[in-house]
Chain A
Amino acid sequence: MIAEALALSALLFTIGVVGVLTRRNAIIVFMCVELMLNAVNLSFVAFSKLYGATGQVFVVFVMTVAAAEAAVGLAIIISIFRHQESVNLKDINLLRG
């Protein structure tokens, strides 16, 4: 089952990458990043079946980082929305000059 789980993890990660590249809604881009983190978690769990429970400990850490990232990222999106009235990444070009 480990090989299948790793293949599934690779597929989910790729779908997440494609989502990040194609979508322009900042919130959906964030959700795609969460999907990529989930795919990595799946490989961690698959390897933990082979190498012991350390992989599951790492999954706990990844979940913590994902939660922190979601909180801060969404706060940033809200504060961008206050300035620009939009969450479309096309409209967020303050640094373009």
Chain B
Amino acid sequence: MGNEFFSLLYSFHFYLFGLIAVAAAIAFVTRKSPVAAAMWLVVTMFCLAALYVMMDAQFIGVMQVLVYAGAIMVVFVFVVMLLNLGHPSELSDISGKWGRLFAGFLGLALVAEILTLTRSPMDLRLVVPTIPVTVTSTGGIIGGVSGPLFREYLLAFELTSVLLLIAIVGAVVLGRKRSAS
């Protein structure tokens, strides 16, 4: 009985966080004020972090809260403050009737496409590996992520540091005041 109850509780929370994520995302794209939109996006990101933790990706969940909700969104809100865009202007920035119709139609088409894809008679499922993946890391939760990161993907990892350096230099060059030359 205990196991069944746990499973039910798990499903309930999975759907709960998923519903909150979708509702917050819809609220996010419909808000006029950039600050309100950013706050709703933070709610979506927190729900996604909860889902990551529920799907045995605890490290990614922590990174989601720290990097996305904590760092990237702070930069967004900071820029909104810097440009003094906190007040929604009289003119909404949401495009006109035709633009909204087009976007809504495209969104419905995308969802319908995905739904038909899952119901298609063709076997589109990915091939499940014959050897079941087992968590062989000895380093606990983080070991499962950091092991491949520092072994198989070491070159990519080093390249991301170059990418971050380029981003820092680029942001500084773009953001500084143009000197009177």
Number of A positions contacting B (CB below 8 A):
65
Number of B positions contacting A (CB below 8 A):
78
B175 contacts A64, C-beta separation under 8 Å: no
Docked complex Cα distance between A50 and B126 (Å) = 10
A15 contacts B68, C-beta separation under 8 Å: no
Query: Per DSSP, are chain B's interface residues mostly helix, strand or loop, or mixed?
Result: helix
B55 contacts A67, C-beta separation under 8 Å: no
Give the A-binding residues of B (Cβ under 8 A): 10-11, 14-15, 18, 21-22, 25-26, 28-29, 34, 37-38, 41, 44-45, 48, 51-52, 54-57, 59-60, 63-64, 67-68, 71-72, 75-76, 79-80, 82-83, 85, 93-95, 99-100, 102-104, 106-107, 110-111, 114, 118, 126, 128-129, 133, 135, 137, 144-145, 147-149, 152-153, 156, 160, 163-164, 166-168, 170-172, 174-175
Give the B-binding residues of A (Cβ under 8 A): 1, 3-5, 7-8, 10-19, 21-25, 27-28, 30-32, 34-35, 38, 41-42, 45-54, 56-57, 59-61, 63-72, 74-79, 81, 87-88
